[in-house]
């Protein structure tokens, strides 16, 4: 997520905090401190315990996401980072789970962790109840953490995608039918219906008076996130359907602009970057693709040095995930160019550059695929209605529409009371 601060890695997974997390952390701490101030005479102690309790709460959300992520990564490198934000957390998945069984275990891992934490804190509540009255504020904190983890587990098990329960439902349908597309449509539509009910209830709640406005608006926000996640999953499904059966070679732009490793920066700028209006140029040598030069890196070099500096001095290594085989499915390019990694570079078995796949190439292919599907559906309808034999629905010319934003990668989103997935295209989970 943009606006996130990296904290470090846990089990190889980067943990980030989005700036919106700070506001919710402050709000939770304030509300807890007010409640605890009635149990202790010292305001400092009340605030100290409130801060620790808030950190423990978000630590529980992080544990929930880590449970999803570690199980997901047991099936491959699916999760690279977790972001904590206003509504809890999101584990960013690179791709959909490989099978219904994998989806099931990944989805259950998060609520399972929250239930386990609820049991741990609940046990602490029982033990502290037997202690002296001076521990009453700690008892309050443990009770809060037990209840909030129980709510997190139960709410996320609601069978409405992209909540964990919705993912469990999708996994069950996927296993029963063997159809990922059908399972996703059913789970996502149930998720959309639940989101609209939640938003409607939130709007009604705001009419009950000033005291209920915040809770009502919070529910509306959660419902909107769930609706967006479900809609994004359906969009991703439609895009992948449009690209079905298409290979990278069929959609790539051949003979892309490139530069030799012996070029100077000045030659690169005046022969490629400016004439081609491109921001990134692949560097090749001896038939091999060595890396890329970004226009921003060139701009950081004083112009007086351009004639004497080689492109290799500012060249960056190419992310292996951006290298595509020409016979790979076009959906692989979707994960790259549509997933925010930049253009995908198509190379042969020896590393020679064959072509490039940009967002425009993908949009063009998706539009053509959608037209083709419409034509097939129209032909089928005419056939059922007794239309003329051999009728073929004409495919419009290959003119791409105006660029539109790709949905984000699938993700497991778990909030203080939500588990939503932002629009996906090119997440996972969340979360």
Task: Give the bridge partners for 6, in sequence order.
Answer: 16
State yes or no: pLDDT of 294 exceeds 50.
yes
Cβ(265)–Cβ(314) under 8 Å? yes
Q: How far apart are CA 284 and CA 353, in angstroms?
A: 8
- Res. 193 pLDDT band, cuts 50 70 90: very high
Q: How far apart are CA 289 and CA 350, in angstroms?
A: 9
Q: Which residue's entry shows tokens 């209605």?
A: 385
Helix (H) and strand (E) counts in the chain = 13, 13
Alpha helices in 264-358 (DSSP H): 265-268, 274-276, 295-299, 330-337
Report percent pLDDT > 70 for the chain: 87
- Count the neighbouring beta carbons within 10 Å of the beta carbon of residue 159: 17
Q: How far apart are CA 171 and CA 190, in angstroms?
A: 14
Q: What is the mean pLDDT of residues 193-212?
A: 89
Cβ(169)–Cβ(182) under 8 Å? no
Neighbouring residues of 317: CB distance < 8 A, sequence distance ≥ 6: 291
Residue 323's SS3 state is strand
Q: How far apart are CA 430 and CA 417, in angstroms?
A: 13
Q: What φ, ψ does residue 391 adopt, rounded to 5°?
A: -65, 135
Structure tokens at 146: 């037990």
Structure tokens at 237: 């499904």
Q: What is the mean pLDDT of residues 48-76?
A: 93
Residue-range domain boundaries for the chain = 4-244+413-430
State yes or no: pLDDT of 89 exceeds 90.
no
Q: How far apart are CA 210 and CA 212, in angstroms?
A: 5
State yes or no: pLDDT of 427 exceeds 60.
no
Task: Give the bridge partners for 325, in sequence order.
Answer: none
- Res. 210 pLDDT band, cuts 50 70 90: confident
Length, in residues, of the chain:
431
Pairing of strands 280-285, 259-260: parallel
Element (H, E) at 72: helix 43-73
Q: What is the 3-state secondary structure (H, E, C) of 406-426?
A: CCECCEEEECCCCCCCCCECC
State yes or no: pLDDT of 283 exceeds 90.
yes
The whole model's pTM is what? Answer: 0.75
pLDDT at 383: 63
pLDDT at 43: 87
State yes or no: pLDDT of 2 exceeds 70.
no
- Res. 184 pLDDT band, cuts 50 70 90: very high
Question: Percent helix, strand, coil in the chain (nearest 5)?
Answer: 55, 15, 30
130 burial level (CB within 10 Å; 0-12, 13-18, 19+) = exposed
Task: Give the bridge partners for 92, in sequence order.
Answer: 81, 411
Pairing of strands 344-347, 353-357: antiparallel
Handedness of CA 25, 27, 33, 38 (dihedral sign): negative
pLDDT at 255: 83
Distances (CA, A) of 185 to 31, 42, 189, 372, 407: 40, 55, 6, 21, 16
Structure tokens at 276: 């081609």
Q: How far apart are CA 165 and CA 110, in angstroms?
A: 10
Task: Give the bridge partners for 346, in sequence order.
Answer: 324, 355
- Res. 431 pLDDT band, cuts 50 70 90: very low
């Amino acid at each position: 997520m943009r606006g996130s601060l990296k904290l470090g890695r846990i089990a190889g997974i980067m943990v980030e905090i989005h700036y919106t997390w700070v506001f919710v952390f402050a709000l939770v701490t304030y509300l807890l401190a007010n409640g605890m101030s009635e149990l202790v005479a010292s305001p400092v102690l009340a605030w100290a315990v409130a801060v620790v309790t808030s950190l423990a709460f978000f630590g529980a959300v992080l544990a929930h996401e880590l449970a999803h992520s570690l199980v997901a990564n047991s099936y491959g490198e699916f999760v690279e980072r977790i972001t904590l934000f206003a509504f809890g957390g999101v584990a960013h998945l690179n791709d959909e789970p490989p099978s219904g069984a994998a989806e099931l275990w990944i989805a259950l891992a998060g609520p399972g962790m929250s239930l386990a934490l609820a049991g741990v804190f609940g046990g602490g509540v029982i033990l502290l109840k037997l202690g002296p009255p001076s521990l009453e504020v700690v008892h309050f904190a443990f009770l809060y953490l037990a209840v909030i983890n129980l709510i997190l587990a139960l709410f996320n098990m609601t069978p409405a995608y992209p909540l964990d329960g919705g993912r469990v439902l999708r996994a069950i349908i996927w296993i029963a039918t063997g159809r990922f597309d059908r399972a996703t449509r059913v789970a996502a539509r149930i998720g959309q219906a639940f989101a609209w009910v939640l938003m409607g209830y939130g709007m009604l709640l705001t009419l009950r008076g000033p005291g209920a406005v915040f809770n009502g608006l919070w529910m509306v926000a959660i419902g909107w996130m769930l609706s967006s996640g479900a809609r994004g999953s359906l969009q991703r499904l439609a895009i992948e359907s449009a690209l079905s059966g298409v290979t990278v070679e069929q959609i790539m732009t051949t003979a892309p602009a490139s530069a030799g490793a012996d070029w100077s920066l000045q030659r690169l700028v005046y022969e490629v970057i400016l004439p081609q209006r491109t921001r990134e140029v692949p560097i090749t040598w001896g038939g091999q693709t060595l890396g890329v030069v970004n226009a921003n890196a060139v701009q950081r070099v004083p112009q007086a040095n351009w004639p004497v500096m080689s492109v290799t001095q500012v060249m960056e290594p190419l992310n292996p995930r951006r290298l595509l085989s020409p016979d790979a499915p076009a959906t692989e390019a979707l994960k790259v160019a549509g997933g925010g990694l930049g253009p995908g570079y198509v190379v042969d078995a020896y590393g020679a550059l064959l072509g490039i796949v940009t967002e425009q190439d993908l949009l063009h292919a998706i539009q053509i695929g959608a037209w083709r599907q419409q034509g097939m559906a129209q032909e089928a309808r005419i056939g059922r209605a007794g239309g003329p034999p051999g009728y073929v629905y004409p495919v419009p010319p290959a003119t791409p529409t105006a660029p539109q934003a790709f949905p984000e990668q699938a993700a497991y989103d778990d909030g203080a009371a939500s588990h939503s997935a932002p629009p996906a295209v090119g997440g996972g989970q969340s979360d």
